[in-house]
Amino acid sequence: MPELPDIVVYIEALNKRIIGHTLDGVRLGSPFLLRTAVPTISAVESKTVSELKRLGKRICIGLEEDLWLVFHLMIAGRLHWKAKSTAERGAVRSPKKARLPPKRDLAAFEFDNGTLSLTEAGTQRRASLHLFEGRNNLRLLDRGGVELFPGSEGDRLGEFIDLRAFVSVLQSENHTLKRALTDPRLFSGIGNAYSDEILHAARLSPLKLARSLTEVEIARLHRATRETLLMWIERLRRDAAGRFPDKVTAFRHEMAVHGRFKQPCPVCGTPIQRIRYAEHECNYCATCQTGGRLLADRSLSRLLKDDWPRRVDEL
């Protein structure tokens, strides 16, 4: 699922392409994408884009008359941009001739200078689109998590949350660190992938409880969160190199632990371990993060019982 760094880079790319441009028309390829009925989707046609903002893992496009298109890409949703040629920009398009998007596309948004399309791999169709009238209605989708870069506006990042505020949110509930970082009611925008990277950088177990951290560990986690997110924002900007980001993925070979099960830790060389739960997995280095202790996998450790290795050197 695209998380804070990916969404930031998406918004920066959209800022350069659609701010000040007119949305000529919308073509929906799936009846399940649009989750609101009022106003109707036709209300955004012929409106000019005035603003973009991030709401957690959502992308919000503000148009004239205080209309807001809000995208949640979920796990497999992705955005794509195709610029119009000079000839295409000058052509007059008849709404009656508008075709549905290709089969894999959930929607296409025709701007005066190009087309923004939303695709989703697989068949589950989890991505969503909401249309609201009035900025205040965006709060209906706000899970309440604190923004890690408060004061961010458009494509400008604000200063990172200070240590005192970070600790207050982190320890407001005694969750495991993995759950605390990914809980949208606590922190806005962090998901499965970057929480793994943050905890590895902080050298902390994903199952350590938030209220059990020492002051040194808290400071280390605060610093690792800031540095990891900023590093990935810069890396994704560099990878895009001014182009529209079209290779957004949760699994990147430069990552330290996420998606790298059994591969060597880039710090110590120990094979990366994982815990699987529901549709997610938690990746960690036993040497760097848990003092050599293997964390119990809910399914495999129960199956093996006494044969489950307790430490990485028993594997």
Is residue 120 within 8 Å of residue 126, measured between CB atoms? yes
Helix (H) and strand (E) counts in the chain: 8, 12
- Token representation of residue 292: 């050599």
The pLDDT confidence band at residue 280, using thresholds 50, 70 and 90, is confident
Least confident of 46-60, 174-188, 293-307: 293-307
Distance CA 266, CA 120 (A): 32
| Contact status, residue 39 vs residue 133, Cβ threshold 8 Å | yes
Paired with 69 in beta bridges are: 61, 131
Q: What is the pLDDT of residue 90?
A: 59
Range picked from 156-160, 240-244, 262-266 for highest mean pLDDT: 262-266
Degrees, nearest 5: CA angle 146-149-152? 110
Residue-wise pLDDT for 124-152, tens only, equals: 788 999 999 999 999 999 999 999 999 88
**Which pLDDT belongs to residue 155?**
67
61: closest CA among 135, 120, 5, 3? 135
Report pLDDT for 10. Answer: 96
34, 115, 131 from 100: Cα distances, Å: 15, 13, 20
pTM: 0.89
Write down all domains in the chain, each with its CATH number in brackets. Answer: 4-142 (3.20.190.10), 163-314 (1.10.8.50)
Of 293, 295, 287, 294, nearest to 203 by C-alpha is 287
The token pair that represents 135 in the structure block: 């900025």
pLDDT grade for 154, boundaries at 50, 70 and 90? low
Cβ atoms < 10 Å from Cβ of 282: 23
Q: What is the DSSP string of 175-193?
A: -BHHHHHH-TTTEES--HH
Q: Strands 146-147 and 187-188, how do they pair?
A: parallel
> Coil, helix or strand for 282?
strand
pLDDT digits (tens, 9 = 90+) for 12-71: 999 999 999 999 999 999 888 999 999 999 999 999 999 999 999 999 999 999 999 999
- Mean pLDDT, range 286-291, rounded to an integer: 96
Structure tokens at 272: 């990366």
- Evaluate whether 184 touches 142 at the Cβ level (below 8 Å): no
Helix (H, G, I), strand (E, B) or coil at 306: helix
Average pLDDT over every residue of 205-217: 97
Buried/exposed 196-221: b ≥16 CB within 10 Å, e otherwise: bbbbbbbbbbbbbebeebeeeebebb
Neighbour tally for 82: CB within 10 Å = 11
pLDDT over 90, % of the chain: 73
| pLDDT confidence band for 211 (50 / 70 / 90) | very high
Q: Mind listing the pLDDT tens digit for each residue in 66-103?
A: 999 999 999 889 999 999 876 666 565 554 444 555 66
Q: Which phi-psi region, left, alpha or beta, contains residue 162 (left: φ > 0; alpha: ψ -120 to 50)?
A: beta
Quote the pLDDT of residue 124.
77
pLDDT for position 140: 95
Strands (E), the chain: 22-28, 47-55, 58-63, 67-72, 77-83, 105-111, 114-120, 128-133, 146-147, 187-188, 273-277, 280-284
Side-chain-side CA neighbours of residue 309 (13 Å) = 10
